Amino acid sequence: MSSANQTIFEIARKRRSVRKFRTDNFSMDVLLECINAAREAPSGSNYQPWHFVIVEDAKLKEKLRDVCEKGERKFYSHVRGELAEWLKNKGLSWKKEFLSQVPYIIAVFGYKKAPYSRESVWIAVGYLLLALEEKGIASLTYTPPNRDEVAEILKCPGDYRLEVLLPVGYEDGHKIKEPRKSLDEVVSVNFFDNPRV
Ligand SMILES: Cc1cc2nc3c(=O)[nH]c(=O)nc-3n(C[C@H](O)[C@H](O)[C@H](O)COP(=O)(O)O)c2cc1C
């Protein structure tokens, strides 16, 4: 359901990562509209280093899932400590079913030689996430551990880097949003060690 009448503040507050999706399809036009918003993001020297690949082909999504899960199995076999504990508590594992469940995956690439390429691309990703949320489309910023292998499948040129896969679709269920730090925890005035109040 679209939330077109909500302000950016409300949309930002509502938006969260979704890892369980319904398989319902919708028109790619909605995604193009959202990418149109992402295109408005600022970038180093206005280089606009981003490139978006919308994956809709079912076999290709399966292939991406296979490769990502291969990378994840390796990652999960090595991960230790605080991160391992966090992943366990969140119920996350090497399985990435969402990659074949969603109607679309938006793969976001950045031109490596552009100034501040990564920063610029991620600002555009932020715009895109909020635009999707406004359209009622759930998403996940999924960063596969073996991104180069994934990029190769999508025929990424050597001077581009895969930054993120965004599986997008309608949420299955209703996940609770992860808590956020308070404003006072993250803001200080004049100096880093000077609290706001
Ligand atoms: C740069 C970045 C990389 C992330 N990579 C993954 C990922 O690989 N897999 C995943 O399930 N979530 C990933 N996330 C989602 C975060 O876990 C999530 O944003 C965080 O736990 C807060 O939850 P929320 O987005 O639901 O509020 C990533 C988020 C960011 C910003």
CATH of the domain at 127: 3.40.109.10
Dist. CA 164 → ligand 1 center (Å):
11
Dist. CA 87 → ligand 1 center (Å):
11
Domain membership flag for residue 196: no
Whether the CB of 17 sits within 6 Å of ligand 1? yes
Whether the CB of 178 sits within 6 Å of ligand 1? yes
Residue located nearest, by CA, to atom 15 of ligand 1: 141
Which strands form 50-55's sheet, in the order they lie side by side? 50-55, 104-111, 160-169, 138-139
**What pLDDT score was predicted for residue 197?**
77
Number of domains the chain is built from = 1
Domain membership flag for residue 75: yes
Q: What is the pTM of this model?
A: 0.96
**What pLDDT score was predicted for residue 4?**
61
Q: Give me the average pLDDT of each 10-residue run along the chain (197 residues).
A: 78 97 96 98 98 98 98 96 94 96 98 98 98 98 98 98 98 94 96 92
Residue 25's nearest CA partner among 54, 49, 65, 53 is 54
Domain membership flag for residue 6: no
For residues 196 and 3, what is the distance between their CA atoms, to the nearest angstrom?
33
Whether the CB of 142 sits within 6 Å of ligand 1? yes
Domain membership flag for residue 44: yes
Whether the CB of 141 sits within 6 Å of ligand 1? yes
**Which residue segment(s) compose the domain that 34 sits in?**
19-186
Instruction: Cite the beta strand spans of the chain per DSSP E.
Output: 50-55, 104-111, 138-139, 160-169
**Distance, CA of 118 to chain centre:** 14
Domain membership flag for residue 53: yes
Domain membership flag for residue 5: no
**What pLDDT score was predicted for residue 5?**
83
Dist. CA 111 → ligand 1 center (Å):
23
